[in-house]
Structure 1
């Protein structure tokens, strides 16, 4: 028995020593960099939650926060379960999607170029999470939560993972062909923007009477969400090169330039119509610039970012009319700000990609774009962009149309639920307590008027105005009168549509 215990202790010591020897071979700078970057990119998800919450009516504000955080949880589960393997496994026998070699984070490389593959898998999981959190904004004001969560899991498996494999897996056809997509113009921006537009199309148009006087209920939350996004986006773009290098700083600077010029351009375009600047317009322009920088920030020179930022502000601003032309209720302009900006940037790189900038990480080698006389790069960028758009639109539409016909997975809430608000119908909680209080106030006022019109006394010595409101006291309606009153009409009809 003593010999067995000694042998066990020796084996434990050997294993421990082997682990420490493996760690000694790691590049600690890369591990720290990617770990911090993972946390920073995750911060984009709360940013999207607050951005979307501020843009909708107050009675649907909590719904948007909930859906983004729920999407984050579902995405991380899918990524651990088989998403990473389908996107990045290197043992697949085709150029379109990986296999299940890394199912459940199994068989990950101990040394993945100076750092453990687990660190890379975690970092890429945040990219998938940001993509889906962008996408789910399309259910604002009218979408059900549970079907959306089912859709996210399926969509990641059938849409996001294959396209990610195309461009970021060394076995993918776009990677082998030499397509440039630094941080996700295809997998992140085009897929989220165009898939959200398809989801909005399947959900159907907004009810006109519910959107009367519709406006963002809290612009302060919009600015806070944009700030979180900008903060996280610097890691999203800056650390995509994986190793600490000149390209890290270059990508961050390109992102800031695009964001600045995108925001300024959008503001001026809005000013020409209303002769006033808008905070929402500034935030929209900043986000459009950051989106445009995503595939290009590690590829183009700094001066080209000025052009890209201005183009992003113009193109994305005018792209907000696409939903009007096609009669689709894309409430949060996800197609305009994400899909179109990502598409624009991929094409832009066909001209302005620089082989010098591409090589700033110390290991990448590419011929660049037209500014380096690589004339064939443009058609590669165009073909890849349209492949992403076509694939995601067709597959997303098929998933949604099939789901919407399955009992229990109907995508849209009924009209009564939309009028009451998504917070009450889907969440059962409110972002603001006074939403419920205000509704109850109007219910009591209506009951008071009804009792007065029926000739029934409310309380002695009350003064009732012509609208049925008690002038002397706030609430003098007997509880038994309230419980026995006829309440056939929905309470939603007693408060304004802009709540």
Structure 2
């Protein structure tokens, strides 16, 4: 008996299945997991740089970004960024609640994976910005901010950059993996958040923080998570397991290496000492700079991206002293300025020979191809992203601060006590709470001896 003829719906499903490539699917699933790994990496990086009495709150906010944006992306974020009937600025609610996305031909044949992968980008972006909350921001308003900011700031920028209808995409702007939507937007938002919160207690405009990073090991651990995850962040943006994706991973790694070396040398010239924090900051700077151009540039250009990224981000850490804004973790310097520099370098070094490694025909791209107008496109996109993120972030925070219960700043007593205690009630290091209370008074030799007999840690000064 002959097989029954398939219904049109079944035939469409069978045809769709034949278009899928298992290697591509495996790579995008892996890349999504790698980008997710980056978010606790950001948390460890930030918590290690901050004071230990607020370390756990930063980890909490970074992980909360995954949950809050995960819901926002399902609810309307994906539709606002990638709906096929989007305007030049923002999408519609065509896919509200992820309606009608199965077997869609908008980003076929892997729309479902595209939603998952881009959702991780949406989650890590406010996690990068929320480091500005260090030591002085209340947690509930920060969580509300993550949801609102993702909707009003991230989604429109993602739309105009990556949606085919977006004004930057139509203009010809190049941004392979998030120079503007991720790094410029988050870095600028962190600057605005720092400005609206005000300086931390004890902040000194001349010398900055009177506290050193409390756990450099956490900074290294966070850097490792980020470096590994960036292979998925950039390499996965090709949305295929092909030669261009492999080249993207290669140039990403080269830029990170050169950024780390450059920052270390810049610090060495000042202090005649090597810095682990400098190495980690430099690696992140190189990774940020290469992000927008990672699918467009050759390995020799990646060396330049890393060196320039390390230099500009290193010197940009001084900007907060010039403008008097307490950017606690130098987020604007590394992500805002690094992303801006990476966008401009992409306009110079984008190479059609690299972009065509996936088998497609590509028009001339950057200055190396003789396409000189590209630098103007990159500059326009970068300035628009920076201005939009800063103004809208300030407006969001200003309005939130007027709402009862959503005041941004923790009280001075809460700040002195530490956000881990007052906002969470949990601590990154339990022994700190013992030594804190013992250090509230001046220790005599006798009390030190008694403490030693009991095995209790003591300190002659109050801990932070």
TM-score, normalised to structure 1, is: 0.86
Structure 1 SS opposite 2:337: helix
Alignment coverage as a number of residue pairs = 452
CA apart distance, 1:276: 0.2
1:177 aligns with 2:171: yes
- Structure-1 separation of matches of 2:433 and 2:354: 55
TM-score by length of 2: 0.92
Q: 1:25 to 1:277 in 2, by over 3 A?
A: same
Give the corresponding residue for 2:100. Answer: 107
Q: 1:116 to 1:439 in 2, by over 3 A?
A: same
1:377-435 Cα offsets, whole Å, 9 max, x none, are 11111111111111111111111111112211111101111111111011100111111
User: Which one of 95, 112, 133 corresponds to residue 88 of structure 2?
Assistant: 95
Q: Any conservation in 2 of the 1:358–1:366 contact (CA below 8 Å)? A: no
Relative distance call for 1:21 and 1:473 in structure 2 (3 A) is closer
State yes or no: 1:126 paired with 2:120: yes
Q: 1:346 to 1:471 in 2, by over 3 A?
A: closer
* Residues in 1 aligned to 2:156 and 2:331: alpha-carbon distance in whole angstroms: 22
Conserved? CA contact 1:263–1:283, under 8 Å: yes
Matches within 5 A, 1:94-493: 94-110=87-103, 112=105, 115-208=109-202, 213-363=210-360, 365-442=362-439, 469=447
Cα distance between partner residues in 2 of 1:405 and 1:297: 42
- The two structures, once aligned, show a CA RMSD in angstroms of 2.4
Matched-pair contact (CA < 8 Å) for 1:57–1:498: no
- Following superposition, the deviation at residue 100 of structure 1 comes to 0.4
CA distance in 2, matches of 1:428, 1:31: 42
CA contact (8 A) 1:317 1:336 kept: yes
d(CA) in 2 for partners of 1:341 and 1:383?
Answer: 16
- CA shift for structure 1 position 468: 7.8
Please give the secondary structure, in 2, of the residue aligned with 1:429: coil
Offset of residue 498 of structure 1: 5.3
Gaps of 5+ in 2: none
Cα distance in 2 for partners of 1:497, 1:441 equals 8
CA contact (8 A) 1:213 1:497 kept: no
Cα distance in 2 between the residues matched to 1:411 and 1:103: 30
Q: Which runs of 4+ in 1 moved over 3 A?
A: 13-22, 111-114, 209-213, 467-476, 494-498
